Amino acid sequence: MEHAEPAKDTGPGAVPSSGPGRSKTSDRITRLVQVVVGIGAATFLLGWVLPWITHTSWAQIVAELQRLGWAKAFFLFMLMMGGLYSYTFTLSASLPGLRHTPALIVNLCGSGVSNAMPGGGAMGVAAQYAIFRSWGFSHRNIGTSLIITTIWNLLVRAMLPMVAILWLLADGATDLPHLIVVGGWGAVAVAAVMISLAVGIIASDKGAHRIGRALDRVVKPALRLFRKEYHQDVEALAVDMRSRVIDVIRPGWLRLTFGIAGFLGIYFFLFRECMTAFGIDLPWSQAFACYALSRMLTMVPVTPGGIGVTELAAGLMIAFGADHAAAAAAVVLFAIYSHILEIPLGLLSAGAWTATRRHYHVGQQDDPDDLPPGRLPAFH
Please tell me the predicted confidence (pLDDT) of residue 8.
Answer: 41
Average pLDDT value for residue range 295-299: 76
pLDDT at residue 315 in the model: 87
The lowest-confidence range among 24-28, 71-75, 111-115, 323-327 is 24-28
Whole-number Cα distances in Å, 261 to 86, 152, 310: 8, 10, 19
Burial of 174 (0-12, 13-18, 19+ CB in 10 A): exposed
Q: Is 10 helix (H, G, I), strand (E, B) or coil?
A: coil
**HSE-up (13 A, CA, CB side) for residue 162:** 12
More confident position, 233 or 195 = 195
Buried b (16+ CB within 10 A) or exposed e, 275-300: bebbebebeebbbbbbbbbbbbbbbe
Of 58-62, 190-194, 280-284, 309-313, the range with the highest mean pLDDT is 280-284
User: What percent of the chain clears pLDDT 90, i.e. is strictly above it?
Assistant: 35
Please choose, from the candidates 297, 374, 362, the residue with its C-alpha nearest in 3D space to the C-alpha of residue 334.
Answer: 297
- Contact between residue 104 and residue 356 where contact means Cβ atoms under 8 Å apart: no
User: Quick check: 99 and 92 in contact, CB under 8 A?
Assistant: yes
Residues 287 and 307: beta-carbon distance below 8 Å: no
Under the banding of pLDDT at 50, 70 and 90, the label for residue 30 is low
- Rounded to whole angstroms, what are the CA distances from 286 to 292, 313, 322? 10, 12, 11
CA distance from start to end of the chain: 3
H helices within the chain, ranges in order? 20-44, 50-54, 58-65, 70-94, 100-116, 121-134, 139-170, 178-203, 205-224, 234-276, 284-297, 314-319, 324-335, 342-356
Which of 97-106, 207-216, 315-324, 335-344 reaches the highest mean pLDDT? Answer: 97-106
- Residue 135: pLDDT band with limits 50, 70, 90: very high
pLDDT surpasses 60 at 377: no
In the predicted structure, residue 249 carries a pLDDT above the cut 70: yes
pLDDT (tens digit, 9 = 90+) per residue, 39-70? 666 676 667 778 788 888 889 999 999 999 99
Per-residue pLDDT, 50: 80
The count of other CB atoms within 10 Å of the CB of residue 16 is: 8
Count CA within 13 A, CB hemisphere, residue 100. 10
The length of the chain is 380
The per-residue DSSP string of 243-301 comes to: HHHHHHHHHHHHHHHHHHHHHHHHHHHHHHHHHHTTT----HHHHHHHHHHHHHHTT-T
Cα-Cα-Cα-Cα torsion 289, 311, 158, 182, nearest 10 degrees, comes to 60
Q: What is the largest CA-CA distance in the chain?
A: 61
Contact 118, 96 (CB under 8 A): no
**Contact at 8 Å (CB) between 38 and 117?**
yes
Which amino acid, residue 74?
F
Q: Are 277 and 333 within 8 A, CB to CB? A: yes
User: Using a CB cutoff of 8 Å and minimum separation of 24, what contacts does 11-19 make?
Assistant: 11/232, 11/233, 11/236, 11/237, 11/240, 12/233, 12/236, 12/237, 12/240, 13/231, 13/232, 13/233, 13/236, 14/231, 14/232, 15/229, 15/231, 18/229
